[in-house]
Structure 1
Amino acid sequence: MDGLSWFALAIIFFVILTLTYGIVAIHDIPYKIAKARNHPHAQAIHTGGWVSLFTLHAIWPLLWIWATAYDPSQGYSGSDNRAESPAEKKREVKRLKARIAELESEIKT
């Protein structure tokens, strides 16, 4: 083989390696989105990305949608349901109990 053949072979290997890396990197995009959003199912999305490599990318768009559908401050519902701290919850329960007791005393009188 002459030098040009070796150069062509090197280019073929480079292209194959680049395409392989590109395919793997593309399949990690939903996982990176899920990880950035603190998605509760980030590991499942990551596993789904690897499975989609073997299913000819059939489930990859679904993984993308699944990863982007979750918002850390709103969850899946889109409503503002931020988690309250335990101290805030205790104060709210105490306030509601006091209000119930007040209403019960009004009903008795």
Structure 2
Amino acid sequence: MFLNYLALCMILIVLVILFYTFIYIHELPYESAKHRNHPQQDAIYVACWLSLFTLHAIWPLVFLWALSHKDDSATAETESGTANHSDLLTRLAQLESRIKEMEQEASGKPAKGARGK
């Protein structure tokens, strides 16, 4: 009698472990999309749950979809960061000079380098 209850408990434990393993594997595409900062990670999450209704027939496609995006923001900043920085500094200097000219025109004084009309 005791062995029957022990066997029943072992079967229930194995079923619970299998269920949670199944859910863990099922969530892998969403976790990889979240890790890669995929722009469509919410849609991938929904597609993971929808794949349950297709008996995971679309799960490989969802997994490939999640892996299709690579977060290149860190490498792009290091490669073109100095070029963008110098462009921004140039643009900032131009805007500052235009603001000074506008302030001088508004106060009635002629701006430096301004052409007379």
Q: Distance in 2 between matches of 1:48 and 1:23?
A: 16
RMSD over aligned CA atoms reads: 2.6
Matches within 5 A, 1:28-107: 28-73=27-72, 82=76, 88=84, 91=87
* TM-score, length-scaled by structure 2: 0.63
What corresponds to 2:108 in structure 1?
none
Q: How many residues align?
A: 85
Partner secondary structure for residue 32 of structure 1: helix
Superimposed CA distance per residue, residues 45-93 of structure 1 (whole angstroms, 9 cap, x where no aligned partner): 111111111210011000110011101118xxxxx9x5889xx4xx48x
> Residue 98 of structure 2 corresponds to which residue in structure 1?
none
Amino acid paired to 1:55: T
Identity within the alignment, %: 40
Q: 2:24 matched to 1:15? A: no
Which AA in structure 1 matches 2:43? A
Structure 1: runs of 5 or more not aligned? 75-79, 95-109
- Residues in 2 aligned to 1:44 and 1:6: alpha-carbon distance in whole angstroms: 44
The structure with the largest alpha-carbon Rg is 2
